[in-house]
Protein backbone atom coordinates (compact mmCIF):
# COMPACT_ATOMS: atom_id res chain seq x y z
CA UNK A 1 0.00 0.00 0.00
CA UNK A 2 2.87 2.39 0.81
CA UNK A 3 4.50 1.69 -2.57
CA UNK A 4 1.27 2.57 -4.39
CA UNK A 5 0.99 5.85 -2.44
CA UNK A 6 4.61 6.66 -3.20
CA UNK A 7 4.06 5.98 -6.92
CA UNK A 8 0.99 8.26 -6.95
CA UNK A 9 2.93 10.99 -5.16
CA UNK A 10 5.87 10.71 -7.60
CA UNK A 11 3.49 10.68 -10.59
CA UNK A 12 1.70 13.79 -9.34
CA UNK A 13 4.98 15.54 -8.63
CA UNK A 14 6.40 14.77 -12.09
CA UNK A 15 3.19 15.96 -13.77
CA UNK A 16 3.23 19.19 -11.74
CA UNK A 17 6.91 19.85 -12.51
CA UNK A 18 6.41 19.28 -16.24
CA UNK A 19 3.35 21.53 -16.26
CA UNK A 20 5.15 24.30 -14.35
CA UNK A 21 8.13 23.94 -16.70
CA UNK A 22 5.84 24.29 -19.72
CA UNK A 23 4.09 27.38 -18.32
CA UNK A 24 7.44 28.93 -17.27
CA UNK A 25 9.00 28.40 -20.68
CA UNK A 26 5.97 29.85 -22.42
CA UNK A 27 6.11 32.86 -20.07
CA UNK A 28 9.85 33.45 -20.59
CA UNK A 29 9.64 33.07 -24.37
CA UNK A 30 6.51 35.24 -24.70
CA UNK A 31 7.94 37.88 -22.35
CA UNK A 32 11.17 38.11 -24.31
CA UNK A 33 9.28 38.25 -27.62
CA UNK A 34 6.87 40.95 -26.43
CA UNK A 35 9.59 43.10 -24.88
CA UNK A 36 11.64 42.87 -28.06
CA UNK A 37 14.54 41.06 -26.44
CA UNK A 38 15.10 40.37 -22.78
CA UNK A 39 12.32 39.18 -20.46
CA UNK A 40 10.69 41.80 -18.25
CA UNK A 41 9.43 40.54 -14.89
CA UNK A 42 7.99 42.73 -12.09
CA UNK A 43 9.52 45.84 -13.65
CA UNK A 44 13.02 44.36 -13.93
CA UNK A 45 14.68 43.50 -17.21
CA UNK A 46 17.01 40.55 -17.53
CA UNK A 47 20.02 41.15 -19.74
CA UNK A 48 22.43 38.55 -21.07
CA UNK A 49 26.13 39.27 -20.55
CA UNK A 50 27.86 38.56 -23.86
CA UNK A 51 31.38 39.84 -23.13
CA UNK A 52 33.94 39.69 -20.33
CA UNK A 53 34.31 43.47 -19.95
CA UNK A 54 32.65 43.49 -16.52
CA UNK A 55 34.40 40.46 -15.02
CA UNK A 56 34.66 39.67 -12.12
CA UNK A 57 31.48 41.65 -11.28
CA UNK A 58 29.58 39.34 -13.60
CA UNK A 59 30.84 36.54 -15.83
CA UNK A 60 30.25 36.08 -19.54
CA UNK A 61 27.07 34.06 -20.02
CA UNK A 62 25.37 35.37 -16.88
CA UNK A 63 22.05 37.11 -16.73
CA UNK A 64 21.76 40.32 -14.75
CA UNK A 65 18.69 42.13 -13.48
CA UNK A 66 18.49 45.83 -14.30
CA UNK A 67 15.89 48.39 -13.27
CA UNK A 68 14.81 50.80 -16.03
CA UNK A 69 15.46 54.46 -15.20
CA UNK A 70 13.41 57.47 -16.22
CA UNK A 71 15.84 60.08 -14.98
CA UNK A 72 19.35 59.36 -16.20
CA UNK A 73 20.72 62.52 -14.54
CA UNK A 74 20.50 61.17 -10.97
CA UNK A 75 23.26 58.61 -11.38
CA UNK A 76 26.63 58.73 -9.66
CA UNK A 77 30.15 57.42 -9.94
CA UNK A 78 30.25 53.68 -9.25
CA UNK A 79 26.74 52.89 -10.54
CA UNK A 80 26.61 50.11 -13.13
CA UNK A 81 24.41 51.26 -15.99
CA UNK A 82 22.98 49.81 -19.17
CA UNK A 83 23.05 52.29 -22.03
CA UNK A 84 22.59 52.54 -25.78
CA UNK A 85 25.97 52.83 -27.50
CA UNK A 86 24.26 53.11 -30.88
CA UNK A 87 20.91 52.05 -32.39
CA UNK A 88 21.75 48.35 -32.26
CA UNK A 89 24.20 47.97 -29.37
CA UNK A 90 23.43 48.04 -25.65
CA UNK A 91 26.31 48.04 -23.15
CA UNK A 92 26.49 47.59 -19.38
CA UNK A 93 29.49 49.30 -17.74
CA UNK A 94 30.33 51.12 -14.52
CA UNK A 95 30.26 54.93 -14.28
CA UNK A 96 33.94 55.89 -13.94
CA UNK A 97 33.38 59.66 -13.77
CA UNK A 98 30.59 62.21 -14.15
CA UNK A 99 31.20 65.26 -16.35
CA UNK A 100 28.99 68.11 -17.54
CA UNK A 101 26.28 69.81 -15.49
CA UNK A 102 23.59 68.47 -13.15
CA UNK A 103 20.96 69.09 -15.85
CA UNK A 104 23.06 67.64 -18.69
CA UNK A 105 25.50 65.11 -17.24
CA UNK A 106 27.81 63.00 -19.35
CA UNK A 107 28.95 59.71 -17.91
CA UNK A 108 32.42 58.36 -18.54
CA UNK A 109 32.03 54.59 -18.35
CA UNK A 110 34.46 51.72 -18.09
CA UNK A 111 34.17 47.97 -17.97
CA UNK A 112 35.62 46.59 -14.71
CA UNK A 113 37.89 44.30 -16.73
CA UNK A 114 38.95 46.99 -19.23
CA UNK A 115 42.19 48.95 -18.86
CA UNK A 116 40.81 52.25 -20.17
CA UNK A 117 37.49 54.12 -19.98
CA UNK A 118 35.13 53.93 -22.96
CA UNK A 119 36.00 56.37 -25.77
CA UNK A 120 32.62 58.14 -25.92
CA UNK A 121 30.82 59.65 -22.92
CA UNK A 122 27.25 58.47 -22.32
CA UNK A 123 24.49 61.08 -22.39
CA UNK A 124 21.83 60.85 -19.67
CA UNK A 125 19.08 60.23 -22.25
CA UNK A 126 20.94 57.13 -23.51
CA UNK A 127 20.90 55.44 -20.10
CA UNK A 128 18.27 52.71 -20.07
CA UNK A 129 18.71 50.98 -16.71
CA UNK A 130 20.77 50.51 -13.54
CA UNK A 131 22.18 47.15 -12.43
CA UNK A 132 20.41 45.88 -9.29
CA UNK A 133 23.11 43.55 -7.99
CA UNK A 134 21.25 40.37 -9.00
CA UNK A 135 23.26 37.98 -11.20
CA UNK A 136 22.74 34.36 -12.19
CA UNK A 137 25.86 32.81 -13.76
CA UNK A 138 25.66 30.88 -17.06
CA UNK A 139 21.87 31.22 -17.48
CA UNK A 140 22.51 33.93 -20.08
CA UNK A 141 23.59 31.32 -22.60
CA UNK A 142 20.20 29.68 -22.14
CA UNK A 143 18.35 33.02 -22.43
CA UNK A 144 20.30 33.96 -25.54
CA UNK A 145 19.38 30.61 -27.09
CA UNK A 146 15.73 31.05 -26.00
CA UNK A 147 15.52 34.29 -28.00
CA UNK A 148 16.48 32.55 -31.24
CA UNK A 149 13.79 30.99 -33.46
CA UNK A 150 15.13 27.50 -32.78
CA UNK A 151 15.27 28.16 -29.04
CA UNK A 152 11.73 29.50 -28.96
CA UNK A 153 10.42 26.46 -30.79
CA UNK A 154 12.38 24.02 -28.65
CA UNK A 155 11.55 25.61 -25.30
CA UNK A 156 7.84 25.84 -25.97
CA UNK A 157 7.40 22.58 -27.84
CA UNK A 158 9.71 20.28 -25.84
CA UNK A 159 8.01 20.65 -22.41
CA UNK A 160 4.64 20.23 -24.13
CA UNK A 161 5.79 17.05 -25.85
CA UNK A 162 7.22 15.71 -22.58
CA UNK A 163 3.94 16.47 -20.81
CA UNK A 164 1.94 14.71 -23.56
CA UNK A 165 4.26 11.66 -23.52
CA UNK A 166 4.06 11.45 -19.74
CA UNK A 167 0.25 11.76 -19.87
CA UNK A 168 0.01 8.99 -22.48
CA UNK A 169 2.20 6.72 -20.34
CA UNK A 170 0.10 7.46 -17.25
CA UNK A 171 -3.17 6.77 -19.10
CA UNK A 172 -1.74 3.57 -20.61
CA UNK A 173 -0.70 2.35 -17.15
CA UNK A 174 -4.15 3.15 -15.76
CA UNK A 175 -5.84 1.14 -18.55
CA UNK A 176 -3.41 -1.70 -18.00
CA UNK A 177 -4.23 -1.69 -14.29
CA UNK A 178 -7.99 -1.68 -14.99
CA UNK A 179 -7.61 -4.58 -17.46
CA UNK A 180 -5.62 -6.50 -14.85
CA UNK A 181 -8.40 -6.03 -12.27
CA UNK A 182 -11.09 -7.10 -14.76
CA UNK A 183 -9.14 -10.26 -15.61
CA UNK A 184 -8.75 -11.03 -11.89
CA UNK A 185 -12.47 -10.51 -11.27
CA UNK A 186 -13.33 -12.61 -14.33
CA UNK A 187 -11.14 -15.52 -13.15
CA UNK A 188 -12.37 -15.41 -9.58
CA UNK A 189 -16.08 -15.34 -10.58
CA UNK A 190 -15.72 -18.39 -12.89
CA UNK A 191 -13.88 -20.36 -10.17
CA UNK A 192 -16.79 -20.03 -7.72
CB environment 85-95: b (16+ within 10 A), e (fewer): eeeeebbbbbb
Q: Which of 11, 24, 31, 51 is catalytic?
A: 51
Q: Is 51 a catalytic residue?
A: yes
CA 13, 29, 18: angle at the middle one, nearest 5? 10
For residue 67, which of 101, 44, 88, 46 has the smallest C-alpha distance?
44
Ramachandran class of 128: left when φ > 0, alpha when ψ lies in -120 to 50, beta otherwise? alpha
Name the helix (H) or strand (E) containing 164: helix 149-191
Q: Which residues are catalytic?
A: 51
Amino acid sequence: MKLRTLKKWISGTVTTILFILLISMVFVVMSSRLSGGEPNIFGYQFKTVLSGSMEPTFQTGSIIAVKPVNEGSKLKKGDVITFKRDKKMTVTHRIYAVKGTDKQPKYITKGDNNDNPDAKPVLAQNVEAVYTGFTVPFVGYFMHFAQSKEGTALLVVLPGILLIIYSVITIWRAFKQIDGRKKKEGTSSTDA
